[in-house]
């Protein structure tokens, strides 16, 4: 059976780089795509509002996905830390 504290430290080192990279990449890519789509918006106010809503949904999903991923990895690393401190 592997040492839990060593496994937790390795997991922390991996997530320490992956979580910010994933968040920055997701937000940047979707913001760039949204700006490109905004440049093409024409028409009256109702069409612009509808297009804005359609374009912003994936951007908000990227923010939410990155945040959820960070939360899950944080909870995973904390669960392993509790196992090290208070084994069952």
pLDDT averaged per 10 residues, the chain (length 88): 59 84 92 91 89 92 92 77 56
Chain position carrying tokens 């830390």:
81
pLDDT value of position 33: 92
The count of structural domains within the chain is 1
H-helix or E-strand containing 43? none
**Range of the structural domain that residue 20 is part of:** 4-85
Distance from C-alpha of 80 to C-alpha of 77, rounded to nearest angstrom: 5
Cβ-based neighbour number of residue 42 at 10 Å: 7
pLDDT value of position 59: 93
pLDDT value of position 21: 92
pTM reported for the whole predicted model: 0.69
């Amino acid at each position: 059976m592997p040492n839990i504290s060593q496994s937790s430290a390795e997991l922390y080192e991996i997530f320490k780089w992956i979580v910010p990279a994933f968040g920055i990449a997701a937000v940047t890519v979707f913001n760039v795509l949204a700006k490109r789509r905004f440049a093409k918006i024409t028409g009256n106010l109702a069409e612009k509002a509808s297009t804005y809503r359609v374009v912003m949904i994936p951007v908000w999903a990227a923010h939410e996905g990155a945040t959820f991923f960070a939360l899950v990895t944080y909870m995973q690393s904390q669960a392993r830390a509790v196992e090290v401190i208070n084994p069952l």
